[in-house]
Amino acid sequence: PQRFDYYLDSNENTFNILMIGPTGSGKSHLINVLFNSEICESDVSHKSVTREIYFIRGRGRVFDFEENVFKYKDIVVADTIGLCDTEWKDEEIIDLIKSRVSSNFKFIDAVYI
């Protein structure tokens, strides 16, 4: 991992991953596993630990299906607020995710649920 961002340049050529799921499902923990580093605060709880949508930048090997090879590429992972949160309505969370992702990603390469 290289850094956290709250806003991105949507024209960057990055491999973009969206993490989405219920509160306490392990989205932030999975990000820690993907980057092999403790970079996101995570806990098993019915209350969401992640209270904001933010983007974690890194670099890694990504499979290029057109050329049938692995390539090193800049990766951006969007960590989101959990659905079924005890303090927010799901519609509010989904609207926030849509707004932030559509304004920061040109496209999404992978979604982890």
How much is the pTM?
Answer: 0.79
Query: What is the chain's pLDDT, residue by residue, as a tens digit (113 residues)?
Result: 555 555 566 677 889 999 998 888 888 888 888 888 888 777 665 556 566 788 888 888 889 889 999 999 988 899 888 887 667 788 888 898 888 888 888 889 999 98
Distance CA 91, CA 63 (A): 34
Tell me the DSSP string of 21-43: -BTTSSHHHHHHHHHTS--S---
- Angstrom distance (rounded) from CA 1 to CA 76: 9
